[in-house]
Amino acid sequence: MINGSFNNWARDYQVSGTGHSTAIRSYLLMRQNFTDKITVLKSELAAIPKSDKAKQDAINEKGMAIQEEFVAARNAFVKENDDTPALYIVLQDIYDPISDIEQLKAIGKATNKYLPNSMFSEQVNAVLSQAEQQIAYTEQMNSAQGAVGIGKPAPDLNFATPEGKMLSLSSLKGKVILLDFWASWCKPCRMENPNVVKLYNEYKDKGFTVYSVSLDNNKAQWINAIQADGLIWPNHVSDLGGWNSVPAAIYSVNSIPQTYLIDADGTIIAKDLRGQDLANKLKEILG
């Protein structure tokens, strides 16, 4: 049985019956709590003058922290309810099926057990199959091209800019390069972009630049995100292949954001630096 007020359904509805229903309610309330926090931050951000970058950066950092906290809570729910049909409710919060593959497998196992041959199991199985195929493809590419790692030469990339011109990674040799894999639809990527813009402006005259590789498959959305986030460096490329992106496969990218920091000689010196960690590393290298 379900009871609740129409005007505040998401927060005050009550259930009685199975433990599965109670678990679903607890998850929905948890998600609503995080949604409320993000809504408050968006209101605060909208009230900040565009010229006040420091306050904007502070709000964006809070947003990233809330996102990370939600993912941790989501994963804990999956672990605690790994053998119940309640897990299906989590599918809509799987932002990256590749990096969230273990959670996706748990959702698939429970859904196929309790809701076999249903539209729910078909949906989960389709997402899971695509993710597993991409992981297998990436592993195959890694085997063929060798591992990409710290201390090794950065494999060259040569792909099209939004204007259709080919731009190679090697053409930037002599600079410290942040090789940044991202996409317009990637929320954590978009939340990190203000930090990258800030560091680019701070170190661009000291030999630092960014080579951004988008995993978009829609060119208009890619270009709009570049403009909306103020990604002012000229080095933007994509093959518009989405998760089948060739540059992503070359660099073993199975989740985004993913970054590689490359020194002036073309050697990979760090991986997946973001936020303050990236700022500290650039200060160490470029002063």
Environment class of residue 5 by beta-carbon count within 10 Å: exposed (0-12), middle (13-18) or buried (19+)? exposed
Q: Tens digit of pLDDT for each residue in 171-210?
A: 999 999 999 999 999 999 999 999 999 999 999 999 999 9
Residues of the chain with CATH 3.40.30.10: 158-286
Mean pLDDT of 241-269: 92
Decide if 145 contacts 246 (C-beta within 8 A). no
Which helix (DSSP H) or strand (DSSP E) does residue 97 occupy? none
Q: Quote the mean pLDDT of the chain.
A: 89
Whether pTM exceeds 0.75 = no
> Which range, of 112-116, 126-130, 146-150, 258-262, averages the lowest pLDDT?
146-150
Question: Which of these ranges, 16-25, 140-149, 194-203, 269-278, has the smallest mean pLDDT?
Answer: 140-149
User: Residue 268 carries which side chain, given as an amino acid letter?
Assistant: I
Is 105:114 a contact under the CB 8 Å cutoff?
no
Task: Output the CATH code of domain 158-286.
Answer: 3.40.30.10
Mean pLDDT, residues 220-241: 96
Q: How confident is the model at residue 3 (pLDDT cuts 50, 70, 90)?
A: very low
> What is the DSSP pairing of strand 208-214 with strand 176-182?
parallel
The predicted structure's pLDDT at residue 149:
83
Give tens-digit pLDDT for 72-109: 999 999 999 988 888 989 999 998 888 899 999 999 99
Take residue 138 and report the two structure tokens written for it: 């990436």
Written as six digits, the tokens of 57 are 């950066």
- Residue 164: left (phi > 0), alpha (psi -120 to 50), or beta? left
Strand partners, 153: 267
Cα gap 280→247, rounded to integer Å = 27
